[in-house]
A and B are shown apart, each in its own frame.
Chain A
Amino acid sequence: MPMVLLKCDKDIPEREKHIYLKAPDEDTREYLPIANAATIPGTLSERGCAFCGAKLVIGGVLKDTIQMIHGPIGCAYDTWHTKRYPTDNGHFNMKYVWSTDMKESHIVFGGEKRLEQSMNEAFDEMPEVKRMIVYTTCPTALIGDDIKAVAKKVMKDRPDVDVFTVECPGFSGVSQSKGHHVLNIGWVNEKVGTLEPEITSEYTMNFIGDFNIQGDTQLLQTYWDRLGIQVIGHFTGNANYDDLRKMHRAKLNVVNCARSSGYIANELKKQYGIPRLDIDSWGFSYMAEGVRKICAFFGIEERGEQLIAEEEAKWKPKLDWYKERLKGKKMAIWTGGPRLWHWTKSVEDDLGIQVVAMSSKFGHEEDFEKVIARGQEGTYYIDDGNELEFFEIIDLVKPDVIFTGPRVGELVKKLHIPYVNGHGYHNGPYMGFEGFVNLARDTYNAVYNPLAGLAGVDIRVPEQVAPVLLREAA
């Protein structure tokens, strides 16, 4: 089966190169969707901007760092209270937002003084905080504000602070993926190696590409503690700024999100010789495999087997309860990129769910190589899907549940199809053994909840309500 031109795309035929329907005996040598390419004019993309990739995904997770957004206040809105990466210090990163609040006069006359004043004001207001990341945005990049020079001056005036700059305005790439890249490369080149860690174990690693969504990092940390492995840097879930300056001393880089953070793992290998191990942290079978590989690297296989046995004894019966009830259900996964290939086999193997359509906002062609290798035949694989395509794909594959973000989630709610937040989760964590039971529970609750069906009827009329309740209870 060649690439697919959907009916809704008849006026933008270039979209055919981005949508693939897998057929028997085909593989990525024949067909690979084009990805990480500019959105085609005429398509209503769900993508975020490059600044979003740097600030919302990676930098903003840090628990002890002022995140100074050098731009108009609107750029700051979506960086505050909309993400779900808690911390063990009272969620400092989710309580505050910092912006230089650029107005027209600053755009006309330059914003560097405004930035310097804002940085000093923020440090003065929060004297216990000594670390800051400064981000450019579209307007401040366009007027050429030199944020590195301002950061240098502030650090000279305040010798006890350290500032990292991210020059990644929203327009600088085709999606948030560009922001991931700029922050990764900037950090490894400018900050890694500038502090030395205290080594407390002969087994040390960095855990890269996990952002503590609803406690993922904290759950997995209990495993590493039980295994006796010291995590030098969590990139960046529940992490301190200074932890990430010490990443050069780890013996192993374990990578979960290869798309947002694979760059720093590659550079740590190139610059410091630290090998990169990619694992999947979602799903029973994958998590066990990841633990086994990490333990095999350190030569502590027995500890790993004990941990897996304990976790499976505790959580497998709960998982199986959901598997019995979710077997044969159809799921669509419309998220960022890697969750497509992380999840498609894990929900299939661990929960008996069939994944019928997958769409990636910012995945690269590498992500499509992985997901098409793992995914089923008869499944749609879409790059940078748009709203009309989502409607048409839903008609074609009729999913029982859709894992996606709130934007597309609102769209599918109008069709009375349940959705689970595939980015920030409904009730996570979702990683690890316990986490995958949470994912199963949220999937079960979504699929069997009568609310989606009731939204399509007049609930004042018992004759309309009863069939919905009977159907969901069946």
Chain B
Amino acid sequence: MTTEALTDKVDDLYSYVQERCLWHFSSRAWDRQENIDGVLAKAGDMLTGREPVLESPNDRLQFAEAKSMVDDFRERFPWLRDAGDEEVRQLLDGLKERLVDIAITQSHNRELKHHLY
């Protein structure tokens, strides 16, 4: 897959998350990082046929968020059905980079690093 094609696909996934999801905009930087890492890890499991680990309550939460997103991804982006494991990894890495950038690294939200809720 060309870099341009990968970028276009990441754009699609990113636009979906921005419009539909709330977990990457939670209260503090550490919550956002935990959610982005956890939900995308569970999504990666689902998209590559691995069984997600559901040991802790937080595992189950991230699974619930990821399941809803992956179902929508599959419905909206038919090209995802043909993606191999390596391509899924590249797509989700690209998505994570974009989400961390907007929600944490370059966010202007002045409350993100406050140590209390």
Contact = CB atoms under 8 A, between A and B. Distances in A.
Interface of A: 27-29, 32, 36, 185, 251-252, 258, 262-263, 266-267, 270, 273-280, 289, 292-294, 296-297, 345, 364-366, 369-370, 373-374
A280 B23 CA distance: 12
Contacts of B19: 345, 373-374
Contacts of B57: 251-252, 273-275
Interface of B: 18-20, 22-23, 25-28, 31, 57-58, 60-61, 63-65, 67-68, 101-103, 106-111, 117
Given A258-B22, A266-B27, A289 B68 contact: yes
Given A289-B68, A296-B68, A373-B25, A277 B61 contact: yes
Nearest to A272: B57
A187 B102 CA distance: 33
A29 B31 CA distance: 19
Contact of B27 (A273, A366, A373, A374): A366
Nearest to B110: A365
Contacts of A266: 27-28, 31, 117
B117 A27 contact: no
Secondary structure of the B contact surface, majority rule: helix
A32 to B, nearest CB: 4
Contacts of A280: 22
B111 A364 contact: yes
A369 B117 contact: no
B107 A28 contact: yes
User: Interface majority SS on A: helix, strand, loop or mixed?
Assistant: helix
Contacts of A273: 57
A226 to B, nearest CB: 19
B7 to A, nearest CB: 14
B45 to A, nearest CB: 14
A252 B60 CA distance: 10
B61 A366 contact: no
B51 to A, nearest CB: 14
16 contacts: A185-B117, A266-B28, A266-B117, A270-B117, A275-B58, A275-B61, A276-B61, A278-B22, A279-B22, A289-B20, A296-B68, A297-B63, A365-B109, A366-B25, A369-B107, A370-B22
A251 B57 CA distance: 8
The 5 A-B pairs at the shortest CB distance, nearest first, are namely: A275-B61, A296-B64, A29-B106, A32-B108, A266-B117
B109 A370 contact: no
B31 to A, nearest CB: 7
